[in-house]
Amino acid sequence: MRHKSVRDSEVQIMRKVCKDVQIEPTLLPINKNKFERKVNTADNAQLDISARRLWNSCNKTFFVIRITHPTSQSYYGKSLAEIYQQHEKEKDKHNQRVTDIEKSSLNPLVFTSGGMAPECTQSQQKTG
């Protein structure tokens, strides 16, 4: 499973139901002194996907795609839920920038060779 192929598959699906779907959109520039160190403050920071009209009619939503291999030695002793949560927390380095500067929302899409994180699918079911 490759990041680019998963991203492109998600984009194809989103283009059927969303508007203004973009691959690797560049985030707006920011004042680096305003944010904590854990926030991505790079001038040309990009996320994997953005789309409008996913959760409501106007707002833009950004997506970060993470692909993990749960049988990797680095996850020894962790449950699948713990592995998914670890990767979903990675959104924190982008979340403040997306909400404060882009005035948008950020959703992590975490995949393994066996499927998609339960949290991701549950949040989609609640809104759909």
78-110 residue pLDDT tens:
888 888 888 877 777 788 888 888 899 998 888
State mean pLDDT over 98-124.
Answer: 73
Greater confidence, 115 or 101? 101
Greater confidence, 87 or 63? 63
Cα 117 to Cα 35: distance, rounded to the nearest angstrom? 29
Cα 48 to Cα 111: distance, rounded to the nearest angstrom? 14
Contact between residue 10 and residue 62 where contact means Cβ atoms under 8 Å apart: no
Contact between residue 73 and residue 80 where contact means Cβ atoms under 8 Å apart: no
Q: What rounded mean pLDDT belongs to the chain?
A: 82
Domain range summary for the chain, segments of one domain joined by +? 3-127
Closest CA to 86 of 71, 75, 97: 75
Cα 35 to Cα 128: distance, rounded to the nearest angstrom? 34
Listing DSSP states for 71-86 in one string gives TSGGGTT--HHHHHHH
Contact between residue 22 and residue 47 where contact means Cβ atoms under 8 Å apart: no
In eight-state DSSP terms, residue 90 is G
The whole-model pTM stands at 0.76
Q: Which residues contact 87 (CB under 8 A, 6 or more apart)?
A: 66, 68, 108, 110, 117
